Amino acid sequence: MWTPLVLVLLTSWRALAQVPLPEPPFLPQNASAGAIPSSTGIPNSQWSSLLGNLLYFYEAQRSGKLPSTNRVKWRNDSALTDGQDVKLDLTGGLYDAGNYLKCTFPLSFTVMSICWGATDFGKGYDLANQTPYLDDMLRWSLDWLIKAHAANNTLFVQVANEEVDDAYWGGDRNIPLPRPSYQINDTSPGTDAAAGTAAAFAACSNLYANRVFSNSYSGPATLQNATYAATLLEHAQQLFTFATGASGGQTVYQHSVPEVGKAYASSGYGDELAIAALFLSWATNSSSLYQQAQGYWQQYSLGSYDGVFNWDNKTPGLPVLFAQIAQANPSFGGNASTWQTVAEKYFDGIVYGSGPGYQTHGGLLYYKDDSDDASLNPSLNAAMLLTRYVPLASTQSRRNDYWNYAKAQVNYALGNNPMQAPYIVGANPNSPQNPHSAMASGGNNISNINTSPPQEAYVLYGAVVGGPDKYDRFFDIRADWPETEVALDYNAPMLTLTAMHVLNDTADPFYTSLKAGAYDSKKPQGIPCDDAYTDGCGGPQLSQGGKIALGVIPGLTGISIFSLLGWWAMISFRREHDPLY
């Protein structure tokens, strides 16, 4: 017979229990399977496999004591002393990118984006039988964020020192120490990090509580758990109070913790305050929080921003969320048509070319500076927002144009590009072979990571890499982190987009049409020109136009030097006067 204490513990465990994982588990197939067209309808088996691979990547990024259900057999328990310097348990969570940092700011953006996507297009996870892994991934991330939120007004924003971490290239068994823990608190605040994490907790609380925005979408993935939703909401409310009421005032978090600025410096906090208030307004049925979010929009002049949606700037997502909530509950006082106008001004700039982004010759949406490192991230985030907005668009022509533009960006990432490379590791024989990942590489020679070992030791299935340069070139070099690094936030928009395609697409992902060897026939010669390979940008004798010519027109060796100089001058002139060139 159960004792009262045991019954209480069992009841608590059941209340918080996650969706059971499948047995046998889902495992990625060999990349060769991605070159075989499927013959299924909805759900399409290739899209379903891609969704599973994208989630599998997050399992490969796990830190801490790995569970018995771990599917990534080459991974080991790691960083088991995290938090000891502050007498807390900060083990667990996810490594941010190709290294061993744990960073709260981009992680909170990642889970916010995924939970928002799984609220709108969650039935795609259900159809692909990936909802248990979605639940598993979210809980692993959220449970660590709960640990990081150690007190009402304390949030740990990074574990490990970037300089120490960057000096190490090797596996997860020998991660260097010390791994210091960095916090914001009441007297040393970080409005952006606190509000951004509040937004993540609130967005995920909405998912776990099954709070549906509209029947225009498929609805949430089937992972509802009222107890867990309530726990997440409690943390969201506490962090939002911290963000808005810290005695140290409001500031970006790197002012209080300079160390975090080396990797993830924030440009402001108005967008985080607004998106946290919005997700909380929906979670708590609060019109006052909705009005507060509208106040932040005005106070911080967020409407003047027309750049990218990413871990640093959530502004482009705000009009979409404002419109979703205003349409779902007009009593909040929001004007859906007003927010439609704001959203469509931004999206028209992308789709019709009046915004700061432009399309490369191959069709990739590209923003100067923001796309120079990880070019796919701005493109896929734009595609994700466009796809979400389509049901809300004011005209049929916009619905069609937004949808087609978003689909073209997805197809570019999946292989319909000049390199004929799908930029997801393990998806197809033409996928990147050398992602910038210390633990997947299998090497330990930081001075020679490209050839030590010659072939990556482990396939980092499902990892979205940074992507090509502005000339659509992709070099697939391990040390070329702007093109080949992986990161938590890189996968987030593709997850939502893939879940949507599982729901609606009978056609295979583009990469199934690519046969082995396609990328090898297109692979560029030489070395890149980016932050990792400045030597690839040419010597001092070449003008900027000359560098462009060498990148765009290789192989003109038969042309005289005078002809080349003419080409360089012409191209330089056109680059200055035509942003699409």
- Looking at the chain, the number of H-run helices and the number of E-run strands are 22, 5
Instruction: Map tokens 């938090």 to a residue.
Output: 83
Distance CA 336, CA 392 (A): 9
Residue type (1 letter), 579: P
Amino acid at residue number 350:
I
Residues 61 and 93 sit within 8 Å (Cβ to Cβ): no
Task: Retrieve residue 1's tokens.
Answer: 């017979």
Residues assigned a catalytic role: 476, 485
Single out the residue of 15, 14, 21 nearest to residue 230, CA to CA.
15
Distance CA 110, CA 114 (A): 6
Find all residues with CB under 8 Å of 245, minimum gap 6, and list them.
none
Find, among 213, 205, 204, 212, the residue nearest to 326 by Cα.
Answer: 213
Q: How long a stretch of residues is the chain?
A: 581
> Quick one: 71 exposed, middle or buried, by C-beta within 10 A (0-12, 13-18, 19+)?
middle
User: Using CA atoms, how far apart are residues 51 and 559, in angstroms rounded to an integer?
Assistant: 48
**Distance between CA atoms of 198 and 236, rounded to whole angstroms?**
4
Distance CA 406, CA 412 (A): 10
In angstroms, what is the C-alpha Rg of the chain? Answer: 23
SS3 category, 206: helix
Q: 302: which DSSP letter?
A: G
- Please tell me the distance from the alpha carbon of residue 51 to that of residue 284, in angstroms, as a whole number: 31
